Structure 1
Amino acid sequence: MRRFSLTTLRDYGMGKRTIEDRIVEECGFLIKIFESYEGKPFENTAIMNGAVSNIIVSILLGKRFEYDDSTFIRLLRLVNENARLFGSPSVQLYNMFPALGFLFGACKTVMNNRDELYAFIQATFIESLKELDANDQRNLIDSFLIRQQEVTPSVKYATHEL
């Protein structure tokens, strides 16, 4: 899996000029957003997170989200909230004493966020599987699905199994 990941990421531009092109393209969108504020002060944390996330998403999914896309905003909030909660004392206590998990609400939030992220990933894989073409690998997910079919050729995917 490690070798597949490194090879595939290299194929999609990591350490090459193509990743630079994706970064430059996203910078263009970022500049337009900054210019839309016409010199007025604004909070740029969410916008910068969105720009970085879009570069990653372009490699994984072969597309980008608009900064105001509701799905994209929700996914960013889930990831940010989980990152914040992982460092919280209640989650650290839960990691030391899992039997006391019922006392800590933050753990339930982390688990709910994880489940929602997994549901998005599962739906994304199902959508990619429906449009899968071994001769036209558009993104990392397509490459993964094709590689998985090569390793286990007798397994045919049903969309509900993913």
Structure 2
Amino acid sequence: MSATRLRAEGVSVRLGGSTVLDDVDLDVRGGELVALVGPNGAGKSTLLAALAGDLDLDAGTVRLGEREVRSMRSLDLARRRAVLPQQGRLAFGFLVREVVAMGRAPWARTGHEDDDERLVDEALQRADVVHLTERSYPTLSGGERARADLARVLAQDTAVVLLD
């Protein structure tokens, strides 16, 4: 097994006066697939937000590789981890291909942007949305939107993918 990619140590989060996460530890190594299972309100989405660096912690640390997530710039985070939230928030009339291409934004003006078209095409195929590329995103069904959003995350081409 390769070195740890994502590690939470002693993570605690309070929201609205309630403790949602209390002293959580988690190690996810490269190549592992981890599923968080539990009832609604158990803190699964909160833990994913903490792991992603999208939430302030009341205690503990989250590391991505050797770096503490809270010390990383947004652009650095976006180049190392991709996040698919439960609810998409895109309301503009972009075409599906344009939405998927947005996943490549962290790589703009780098040597990695040369791979944009290939990675977008691969992501469209992997998420089975090639047939939707010319459709306006807001006209898609919920399931089609979810697959287009997954393609966007895959196109981001990061070592860690967090799916809520």
TM over 0.5: no
Using CA pairs below 8 Å that are at least 6 residues apart, which structure has the higher relative contact order? 2
| TM-score (norm: length of structure 2) | 0.28
| TM-score (norm: length of structure 1) | 0.29
More strand by share: 2
Larger Rg: 1
